[in-house]
A and B are shown apart, each in its own frame.
Chain A
């Protein structure tokens, strides 16, 4: 029974194994970045950046067809350009980060849709927007896993400055010159995570596997280490269940994975011990001191 439902699909079909590997890599590489996005109150920034990489991917597609490498490099260039430009505008002018980022990502998104719709077919647009996790080839998997590894190593190196930049940016600015570096490397990580994920989940769904597990983890853990572990665990479980649901019920896999992550968020919201609705509604008796 469990064999049939859970193991069989992966045992029988290579594409399911590949999809699972890809999703686990995304969970390990991109989800921790999502935790930091949430902690820095930049959850929506992830969404903005996801739109920003579209024209790059589209240009890559125009130049080289449905080539993974070209679309990835294009997406990365577009994402970095938007991140750097908005970061520069924030630091050099009176405009705040949210407004400058919104301005650039909207320009970028409009450009992307224009390029895709004039030159490509609607099917291509759907590929870029919603991903094809069940059709990952070797090159895509190697790229995905490399980007995930890069992201994990960078996060490990950047961990202390990043925590300080989140908790007390003023102190980081006063004790070291790493504040700006940390900020831009972190934005680069966001772009890398999105570019790595969009092949599998699409540009729009890629943010889902970053933010939803992070938001769910907030109801289970109170420390930063616990948050990271809980978020990655939620992301991997959502990937596994989403893939199985999509296999058994012939659902599109990207949205299935994200919806399971959304379900995990909903359950956490209600039953999570760290500030969930039930925990709030049924408080235990207070202590003496």
Chain B
């Protein structure tokens, strides 16, 4: 059981105010983990730390033998310009970047894989549509198709099922299960405990500090949920410098 991700005394935050505070945890390679916690608990911040867009204020994140470009990330709010004139097929094909790079040709096997990914998320027939003509759920399917093509060893999903209908969610959960079956490590920020209980074996509960981490049934207890809810959310402008772990 090797660790795909190790958080060592990890503190992440903005303007010196911690959002994730002294986190110690290990994410096992090939595990399917839900990250839960109240709003402002540091869930998205943790993912940003993992992909490296946010440098730790203290401590570190160790990637267990995974390269930076072996991480696929689905942000909570994507920066995608929906008015950009690009088709579903072309946007999905961007997931092949690691293989074809800036100059490589899109060969027939690549095209077949793009078609397969589009079909896997149930969007066959939409290939030539401009992305501006898609619904929110369809756009999310497009992004999942692109994640499929990235074939990353570590997949980070930030609230992938928010504002998504039941059928789309079932289809996309199928994709997540497929990744899990292929031995990829998946870390997903989620809010719906029913979904977590039904589909995610591991859970990491965060409320700025680590509340609990382990098998889902042991983490999602009433007591843990109460502890998470009582977390103080607002940053304190008069807070003292944190000395914990500074030794």
Query: Closest residue to A156 on the B side, CB-wise?
Result: B103
Most buried by B among A158, A178, A223: A223
Residues of B with C-beta under 8 A to A161: 102
- Tell me which of B18-26, B67-75, B176-184, B201-209 binds A: B67-75
Closest to A225 in B: B85
A171 within 8 A of B: yes
Measured in the bound complex, the distance between the Cα atoms of B94 and A168 in whole Å is: 10
Size band of the B side of the interface? 20 to 34
Q: Given B73, B79, B86, B102, which contacts A169 in the complex, CB threshold below 8 Å?
A: B79
Q: Which of B136-172 contact A (CB under 8 A)?
A: 146, 150
Evaluate contact between A171 and B102: CB separation under 8 angstroms: no
Task: Please report the C-alpha to C-alpha distance between residue A276 and residue B102 in the assembled complex, in whole angstroms.
Answer: 34
| Contact call B102/A167, Cβ cutoff below 8 A | no
* Contact mask for chain B residues 100-116; partner A; CB cutoff 8 A; 1 contact, 0 none: 01110000000000000
For B86, the chain A residues whose CB sits under 8 A away are: 163, 167, 224
Cβ contact within 8 Å between A171 and B97: yes
Q: Given that A167-B81, A168-B94 are contacting pairs, would A175 and B102 also be in contact in the complex, using a CB cutoff of 8 Å? A: no
Once the chains bind, are A176 and B69 in contact (CB under 8 Å)? Answer: yes
Q: How far is the CA of A224 from the CA of B86 in the complex (A)?
A: 7
Chain A residues whose C-beta falls within 8 Å of the C-beta of B78 in the assembled complex? 168, 170
A164 an interface residue at 8 Å Cβ cutoff? yes
A residues in contact with B73, CB < 8 Å? 170, 174
Residue in B84, B85, B91, B102 whose beta carbon sits within 8 Å of that of A176 in the complex = B102
Tell me the chain A residues, 136-194 only, with Cβ under 8 Å from chain B.
157-158, 160-161, 163-164, 166-176, 178
B229 beta carbon closer than 8 Å to chain A: no
Q: A168-B78, A168-B79 are known contacts. Are A175 and B98 too (CB-CB below 8 A)?
A: yes
The answer to whether the Cβ of A77 comes within 8 Å of any Cβ in the partner chain is: no
Contact of B80 among A168, A173, A174, A175 (CB under 8 A): A168
Query: Complex: how many Å from CA A157 to CA B98?
Result: 17
Contact A166 B103 (CB under 8 A): no
Question: When A161-B102, A164-B97, A176-B102 are in contact, do A170 and B75 touch as well, CB less than 8 Å?
Answer: yes
Q: Of A160, A166, A172, which is within 8 A of B84 by CB?
A: A166
Closest A residue to B79 by beta carbon equals: A170
**List of B residues within 8 angstroms of A160 by Cβ:** 102-103
Chain B min CB distance to A36 (Å) = 11
Do A227 and B85 have beta carbons less than 8 Å apart?
yes
Residues of A39-77 whose CB lies within 8 A of B? 39
Q: Does B53 contact A (CB under 8 A)?
A: yes
Contacts of B103 in A (CB 8 A): 157, 160
Residue B40 is within 8 A (CB to CB) of chain A in the complex: no
- B57 interfacial by beta-carbon distance below 8 Å: no
A8 at the interface (CB under 8 A from B): no
Of the candidates B51, B53, B72, B81, the one whose C-beta lies within 8 Å of that of A166 is B81
How many angstroms from the CA of A216 to the CA of B75 in the assembled complex?
34
Most chain A beta carbons < 10 A, residue from B51, B72, B79: B79
Provide the bound-state CA to CA distance between A167 and B75, in Å.
15
Asked whether A222 lies within 8 Å of B97 as measured between CB atoms, the reply is no
Contacts of B224 on A, CB cut-off 8 Å? none
* Cβ contacts under 8 Å, B75 to chain A: 170
- Nearest neighbor of A158 in chain B, beta-carbon distance: B102
Most A Cβ at <10 Å: residue of B51, B75, B94, B130? B94
In the complex, which residue of chain B has the Cβ closest to the Cβ of A159? B102
B102 touches A224 (CB 8 A): no
Separation in Å of the A165 CB from the closest CB of chain B? 10
B-contact bits for A18-29, CB 8 A (1 contact / 0 none): 000000000000
Check: B225 CB closer than 8 A to any chain A CB.
no
State A221–B130 Cα separation when bound (angstroms): 12
B87 touches A223 (CB 8 A): yes
- A224-B83 Cα distance, complex, nearest whole Å: 12
A39 touches B97 (CB 8 A): no
Where the two chains meet, the residues of B that have a C-beta atom closer than 8 Å to any C-beta of A are 51, 53, 69, 71-73, 75, 78-81, 84-87, 91, 94, 97-98, 101-103, 130-131, 146, 150
13 sampled A-B residue pairs with Cβ under 8 A: A157-B103, A160-B103, A167-B80, A167-B84, A167-B131, A168-B78, A170-B73, A170-B80, A174-B71, A175-B150, A176-B102, A222-B130, A223-B85
Interface residues of A (CB under 8 A from B): 39, 157-158, 160-161, 163-164, 166-176, 178, 221-224, 227
- In the A-B complex, the 9 residue pairs with the smallest Cβ-Cβ separation, listed nearest first, are A170-B79, A167-B84, A175-B97, A168-B80, A161-B102, A160-B102, A167-B86, A169-B79, A222-B85
